[in-house]
Structure 1
């Protein structure tokens, strides 16, 4: 039995024995409660409404301004492929509203001015002139596609054969003669009758001779055949419209830039349509024109800022 032994006096008085200090020391202290960490508050970026207000008040787009970071990213992405919707998606706008956001941004004078400034800098850096772009588009629009690819009408196998029968090429006829000699040798070994050799329409088939109008097999229609030209022999103008080759269902296919799109661009550039669309086909802006564009954008931004202030004041007066 553990604990301090009792003497006779304690037993007589009914005093309970004292517990040993070693056992009391083994008693564990209650664990302290660690306060739970509060989650850090979420830092939300500017909303589309905040961004619209900031853009209306801005005089220039500053990439170092956190509220302009997404705008600058949109312009960066737009300069890659000039696709507003995809640029908005890559700039982390909502996929659902990307088209609307792209339309909103591209209609803003500050965004237009920044895009024009970057296009001007890029043209200066690459040495691209308006005449070069115009010449390139004009070359695609007026190219003779027969320099790239032809749709030929060849003669069929019966067009020029004797008695309008199937005609062989020289190598095909030689192969048939070897096969006939083998059959004759086998017949001689077996004591059989020699087979007859049928030349049919004879030899000399050449599809480039064109169809025979009196052919009773194709009735003069011939056989259509698509032929791709050797890119090494193309003229400089044809090379403008040549976009290389790609794998197709029936073999390699030639990629040709669409002539109709190039014609449409030329027609719009020359003002043949009523909408008078300015395609800005490589047109370089002078420093004075660029300054004028920035001044107009600044004036528009100030007017929008004043309108916004008047609207807020009016709403303040209407509040009870």
Structure 2
């Protein structure tokens, strides 16, 4: 289907609007156009905006003329304003943040506006006037990002942005391609990390803290087992890399699954993520099938055949014979002669 010539349609609408004052929505419905898609192109002439800009410019000119003490007449500028300098006509279609609607203070409103620029919470926090560096800035920015009012404003802004985006075949193809090539490690990872003996004193068992050691001692006493020892010390950190000299794991460490915070996912990784399922063996992260997404891309590009081709002998064309009713009558008469007499 050919793409509509929006320029010609807009000119046609302006002509009809000048005759009978028809609205863009009524005109699109009369033309059989989808108004949700056409509203970006089919618009009323910006007469009021031009007049408003002219009045403002004329007022400024009068003020400057009075301050200068000049006695020459004030020139009229009604026809001197370039319409290209005016705000775009679809400015009303753009989403704008109303802090009072969401109950945001000045800092939160600035954070929302800055976050929508690059989707970076720490950078948005600093640009909005937040203080702190490193982990301090990250914690403060995350706290603001998790705020219910701020999160709701950000969600509404992103939803409005999606509504303003016109869906095309190229956009759908791009979405499938991004889904097919998304990095799954942005959602979940398999990591080889240190074991309990890697960084303990003398490679002995290392406890997280004294509380864990005391709990293990109480459990051993209740089960009448040998009391544990803390020769390996305290401070076990499960996020550290294995110690290559550890005799217990031979420097290989232990396997651990790591799940990223899905609230921080954006772009292709966000589309790849399909939810979390809690089963009898724990949490299971679900992702959309990347192989199917790649197959959709290949089909769109015509790399896969979706039809069955029939050929004749040795791959040649199929011979078609058109029979007439007389041919069928002759064949039936010959068949009756060959059949035995059943009387």
TM-score, structure 2 as length reference? 0.38
Question: Which one has more relative contact order, counting CA pairs under 8 Å at least 6 apart?
Answer: 1
Larger C-alpha radius of gyration, 1 or 2? 1
